[in-house]
Amino acid sequence: MRLTPISQPELIKALHRLGWEGPIYRSDHPFMIKEGRPPLKIANPHGEDISIDLLIRILRQAGISRKDWLQAR
């Protein structure tokens, strides 16, 4: 299965399934938190889906494998 663009609400739901909490809105971008990991910035909701390139960067920063991500979707 391939990565596909995703809306911000879908991204947040999948991150919740992977143990992340939030989003927290205290800076220029919302972020999510998970114990043992640095805060994870996520894209602002602009009405457009999050591109595959940006999704890949978010997953890398979160330490989430492609396999784990696809299972959480």
Residue 8 has phi, psi (to 5 degrees) of: -60, -45
30 belongs to a structural domain: yes
1 belongs to a structural domain: no
- CATH code for position 21: 3.30.920.30
The predicted structure's pLDDT at residue 14 = 97
pTM of model > 0.85: yes
Structure confidence at residue 59 as a pLDDT band (50, 70, 90): very high
Q: What is the pLDDT of residues 22-38, one digit of tens each?
A: 999 887 889 999 999 99
Name the residue range of residue 41's domain.
Answer: 8-72
Instruction: State the Cα–Cα distance between residues 36 and 25, nearest whole angstrom.
Output: 20
Q: Where are the beta strands (DSSP E) in the chain?
A: 21-24, 31-33, 40-41
Structure confidence at residue 63 as a pLDDT band (50, 70, 90): very high
Average pLDDT, the chain: 93
CA 3 to chain centre: 13
